């Protein structure tokens, strides 16, 4: 019998260590004060300016064309305009040697040509591996990592990403997304850790800590970025960068916790939400960017804008009449750095605003100190430690096996009528749009921004079709032509097969290009599932997708459904491992899989959302519930215990449960601990996730799992918008067990 601690507390020692090393403000030491005192206003405002690499390049990112820096433009940016940061948005990946050359060039100009030699922060979106580096190790997208529920694995993948980013001289990663995915329509759903604030806080914080963990030089590999602060992920229309209406209570209960947890663990930077909440663009919202961020959360890291977002206050959001007014509003609201990104309009305008006395120089000093402090914490002033050619074995075998492990652990078996694992004798028809489509396995932010160009991917990535052909050889018939346009041919092939493996997928897309009108699957994908089933084959559906597409119509025709998310380079291998039983699937949904496009209700909904006249109080009927995931073995839960005796004195509650593997195979389960508050002054959610553990058990083995819950786990944002714990009746739910008890205070 094993005893497991709550995953969060397992990392506590590391957390405290990290807090000590990178605690916000710790590096704001005398030498930085001295440096600041030597800086002119132009030098200070330059630090607050971030330009895209395109602004200092001769080439404009044409595929296949080697990158050429415009040396004069770079010199002007660094030596004359004193820019503090560059960012990468060239829409193409580069090789390790190209990156090294590029970063060395930037570093040399900074060292030799600028008066103060203040190093540059170079930001990049390395969101599932360093996806703009050809040789880097690419991992499943965050939504798949979240389905593993494996905090250590998320940390490991994030550490590799950070190391493979710094190895080529890049010191700032615009990752992780800490937005909580509250609408499946949103085009960035796959970049999140799912719909739950607690899970996002735990997994997101693990990612941040791993990226910022001090390396052999004593400095973190990169600064992580919690994005996008705040409330980006629930646009009312479902479309990216459109208005959200989020009352403060919900902001605090749902969207804030992951940012707060990551900040408490030393998060160095945040990026601001491009959109508006409650009618106010966040880039101009002093409540969010100062009252909440600085005064309440005490965040001392950098708040960088998103792409061109100061200008958008004028052109798009129309809260500012002029660019000057927009700069005033955003700096006054609390931003530290503007992702301008092409020119010096921000720099010049901010200098003017200071000269006119509208923005004080002390306000500028605050932002500059934050920027310099992050540079110092990263060791950028320590030349010996920060040289861009620091050796890391990029794309090592060990890193690749971590990616394979993550892909395998993410595989989520949604349905199985016994067809899986496949019988070793059965003949198989393999078809579907994702069968030989590498971009559909990777999703966006893969070698290009949208990730759609197969030619941009490195050679040697195995497609699902190739993997099936290699491993099942003569038992498999390939039908990449699908069934929609060649229905008769497809039906005949399905008729001649025992099983049809149908790989459905979504073309990669992200941000505005990823807006969709409906969650419905394309007609031709629905059609091939029907045709295969009607021909008598048993149907196994494999889903690669950016967000949960509605599968209600095809689900009855499918004997098994495997959700692969966006698993990356080892997606094909991981899927076939599950199909043939090499791997017993253990992934669990980090979100509620909706049944209807018009019913996008998360698991932690209010009681009234679960009642209607048809089903009474059982109206919450998603396709698959949050946390769902089947296995080839079976688990049995018993002895749920709740000890609340110490609550008055210690504010803690002990929860325990026994899990037993009662099937014939070794397997993994993910155990979720939910709290239900029965009566509260603000309508309580039906349940809220408060702890989880991953448990691996041999057939016949059992484990006793225990967790300690604290006051925060039972409190919520009250009518006065302050956290409150109201004593009374609560229940703990684990699997199908529940335990009701009274909390006294």
- Which residue's CB is nearer to ligand BGC, number 307 or number 739? 307
Could you say which of 89, 297, 507, 666 contacts ligand BGC (CB under 6 A)? 89
Our CB check for ligand BGC shows the closer of 342 and 615 to be 342
Binding mask 258-277 for ligand BGC (x = CB under 6 A): -------------x--x---
Q: Considering the complex, what minimum distance in angstroms separates the CB of residue 3 from ligand BGC?
A: 40
Which residue in 90, 149, 172, 174 binds ligand BGC (CB under 6 A)? 174
User: Smallest distance from the beta carbon of 227 to ligand BGC, in angstroms?
Assistant: 6
Q: Is-contact 82 114, C-beta < 8 A?
A: yes
Establish whether 91 is a catalytic residue.
no
CA dist 38 → 35, 79, 353, 379 (Å) = 5, 16, 21, 20
Q: From CA 623, how far away is CA 102, in angstroms rounded?
A: 49
Nearer to ligand BGC, 284 or 560 (CB): 284
Residues 506-525 that bind ligand BGC (CB under 6 A): 511
Distant-in-sequence, close-in-space partners of 364: CB < 8 Å, separation ≥ 6: 41, 44, 45, 48, 350, 354
Task: Work out whether 227 is an interface residue with ligand BGC (CB under 6 A).
Answer: yes
Calpha distance 666→721 (Å, rounded) = 47
Provide, rounded to whole angstroms, the least separation between the CB of residue 399 and ligand BGC.
23
**In terms of CB distance, is 218 or 513 closer to ligand BGC?**
513
Residues 6 or more apart in contact with residue 483 via CB below 8 angstroms? 431, 490, 491, 494, 524, 527, 528, 531, 532
Shortest distance (Å) from residue 711 CB to ligand BGC:
35
- The CA–CA distances, whole Å, from 176 to 127, 155, 190, 205, 208 equal 7, 11, 12, 9, 7
The yes or no reply on residue 352 touching ligand BGC (CB under 6 A) is no
Q: Which of 306, 336, 577, 604 is catalytic?
A: 306
Of 212 and 399, which CB lies nearer to ligand BGC in the complex structure?
Answer: 212
Smallest Cα–Cα separation from 34: which of 533, 316, 372, 495? 372
Decide: 325 and 291 in contact? Cβ < 8 Å. Answer: no
**Closest to ligand BGC by CB, 304 or 550:** 304
In the complex, the smallest distance separating the C-beta of residue 456 from ligand BGC, rounded to whole angstroms, is 17
Q: For the chain, how many helices (H) and strands (E)?
A: 24, 26
Closest approach of Cβ 132 to ligand BGC, in Å? 10
Q: Measured between alpha carbons, how far is 714 from 675 in angstroms, rounded to an integer?
A: 7
By CB under 6 A, how many residues form the interface with ligand BGC? 9
Cα torsion 352, 355, 361, 364 to 10°: value is 0
Report 132-161 residues binding ligand BGC (CB under 6 A).
Answer: none
Q: Between 43 and 336, whose beta carbon lies closer to ligand BGC?
A: 336
From residue 35, how far is each of 30, 39, 44, 111 by CA, in Å? 9, 7, 10, 15
Q: Residue 92 interacts with ligand BGC (CB under 6 A)?
A: no
Q: CA-to-CA distance for 403 and 397, rounded, in angstroms?
A: 10
Nearest-approach distance from CB 104 to ligand BGC, in angstroms? 23
Q: Cα–Cα distances in Å, from 532 out to 218, 524, 529?
A: 58, 12, 5
Q: Is 283 in the site for ligand BGC (CB under 6 A)?
A: no
Helix (H) or strand (E) holding 739: strand 737-743
Rounded to whole angstroms, the Cα distance separating 655 from 657 reads 7
Give the residue with the Cβ less far from ligand BGC, 123 or 266: 123
CA–CA distance from 615 to each of 185, 611, 619, 623 (Å)? Answer: 26, 7, 5, 15
54 vs 307: CA distance, rounded Å: 13
Which SS3 state, helix, strand or coil, does residue 225 take?
A: strand
Q: Can you tell me the distance from the alpha carbon of 249 to that of 477, in angstroms, rounded to the nearest whole number?
A: 55
Which 301-320 residues touch ligand BGC, going by CB under 6 A? 306-307
From the CB of 235, what's the least distance to ligand BGC, in Å? 13
Assess 125 for contact with ligand BGC (CB under 6 A). Answer: yes
Q: Which is nearer to ligand BGC, 224 or 493 (CB)?
A: 224
Least separation in angstroms between residue 512's CB and ligand BGC is: 9
The residues assigned a catalytic role are 306
Judged by the rule CB under 6 A, the positions of this chain that interact with ligand BGC are: 89, 125, 174, 227, 271, 274, 306-307, 511
């Amino acid at each position: 019998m094993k005893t497991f601690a709550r995953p969060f507390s397992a990392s506590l020692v590391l957390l405290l260590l990290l807090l000590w090393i990178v605690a916000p403000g710790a590096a704001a030491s005398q030498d930085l004060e001295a440096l600041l005192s030597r800086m002119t206003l132009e030098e200070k405002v330059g630090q607050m300016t971030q330009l895209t690499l395109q602004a200092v390049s001769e080439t404009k990112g044409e595929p296949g064309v080697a990158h050429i820096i415009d040396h004069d433009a770079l010199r002007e940016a660094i030596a004359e305009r004193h820019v503090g940061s560059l960012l990468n948005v060239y829409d193409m990946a580069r090789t390790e040697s190209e990156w090294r050359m590029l970063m060395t060039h930037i570093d040399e100009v900074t060292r030799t040509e600028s008066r103060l030699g203040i190093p540059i922060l170079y930001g990049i979106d390395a969101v599932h591996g360093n996806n703009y580096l050809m040789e880097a190790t690419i991992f499943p997208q965050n939504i798949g990592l979240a389905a593993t529920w494996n905090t250590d694995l998320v940390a490991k993948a994030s550490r590799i990403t950070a190391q493979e980013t710094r190895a080529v001289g890049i010191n700032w990663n615009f990752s992780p997304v800490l937005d909580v995915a509250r609408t499946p329509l949103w085009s960035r759903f796959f970049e999140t850790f799912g719909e739950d604030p607690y899970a996002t806080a735990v997994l997101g914080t693990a990612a941040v800590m791993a990226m910022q963990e001090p390396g052999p030089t004593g400095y973190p590999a990169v600064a992580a970025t919690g994005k996008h602060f705040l409330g980006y992920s629930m646009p009312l229309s479902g479309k990216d960068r459109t208005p959200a209406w989020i009352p403060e209570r919900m902001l605090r209960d749902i969207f804030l916790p992951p940012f707060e947890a990551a900040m408490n663990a030393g998060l160095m930077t945040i990026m601001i939400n491009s959109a508006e909440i409650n009618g106010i663009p966040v880039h101009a919202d002093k409540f969010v960017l100062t009252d909440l961020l600085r005064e309440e959360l005490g965040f001392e890291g950098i708040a960088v804008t998103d792409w061109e977002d100061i200008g958008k206050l004028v052109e798009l959001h129309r809260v500012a009449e002029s660019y000057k007014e927009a700069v005033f509003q955003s700096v006054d609201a609390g931003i530290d750095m503007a992702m301008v990104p092409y020119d010096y309009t921000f720099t010049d305008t901010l200098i003017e605003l200071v000269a006119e006395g509208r923005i004080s120089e002390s306000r500028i000093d605050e932002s500059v100190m934050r920027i310099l402090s992050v540079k110092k914490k990263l060791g950028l002033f320590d030349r010996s430690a920060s040289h861009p050619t620091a050796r890391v074995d990029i794309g090592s075998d060990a890193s690749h096996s971590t990616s394979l492990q993550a892909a395998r652990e993410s595989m989520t078996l949604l349905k199985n009528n016994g067809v899986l694992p496949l019988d070793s004798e059965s003949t198989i028809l393999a078809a579907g749009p994702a069968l030989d489509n590498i971009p559909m396995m990777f999703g966006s932010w893969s070698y290009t921004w949208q990730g759609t160009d197969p030619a941009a991917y490195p050679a040697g990535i195995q497609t699902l079709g190739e993997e099936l052909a290699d491993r099942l050889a003569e038992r498999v018939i390939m039908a990449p032509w699908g069934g929609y346009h060649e229905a008769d041919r497809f039906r005949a092939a399905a008729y001649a097969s025992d099983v049809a493996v149908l790989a459905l997928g979504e073309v990669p897309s992200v941000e505005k290009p990823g807006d969709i009108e409906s969650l419905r699957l394309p007609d031709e994908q629905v059609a091939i599932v029907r045709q295969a089933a009607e021909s008598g084959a048993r149907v196994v559906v494999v889903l690669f997708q950016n967000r949960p597409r509605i599968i209600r119509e095809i689900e009855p025709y499918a004997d098994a459904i495997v959700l692969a998310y966006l698993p990356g380079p080892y997606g094909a291998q991981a899927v076939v491992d599950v199909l043939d039983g090499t791997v017993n699937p253990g992934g669990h949904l980090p979100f509620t899989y909706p049944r209807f496009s018009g019913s996008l209700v998360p698991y932690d909904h209010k009681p009234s959302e679960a009642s209607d006249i048809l089903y009474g109080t059982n109206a919450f009927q998603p396709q698959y519930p949050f946390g769902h995931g089947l296995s080839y073995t079976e688990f049995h839960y018993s002895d749920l215990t709740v000890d609340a005796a110490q609550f008055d004195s210690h504010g803690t509650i002990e929860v325990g449960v026994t899990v037993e593997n009662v099937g014939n195979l070794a397997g993994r389960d993910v155990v979720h601990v939910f709290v239900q508050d029965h009566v509260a002054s603000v309508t309580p959610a039906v349940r809220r996730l408060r702890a989880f553990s991953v448990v691996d058990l041999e057939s016949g083995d059992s484990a006793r799992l225990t967790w300690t819950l604290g006051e925060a786990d039972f409190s919520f944002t009250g009518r006065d918008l302050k956290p409150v714990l109201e004593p009374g009746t609560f229940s703990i739910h684990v699997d199908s067990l529940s335990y009701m008890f009274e909390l006294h205070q």
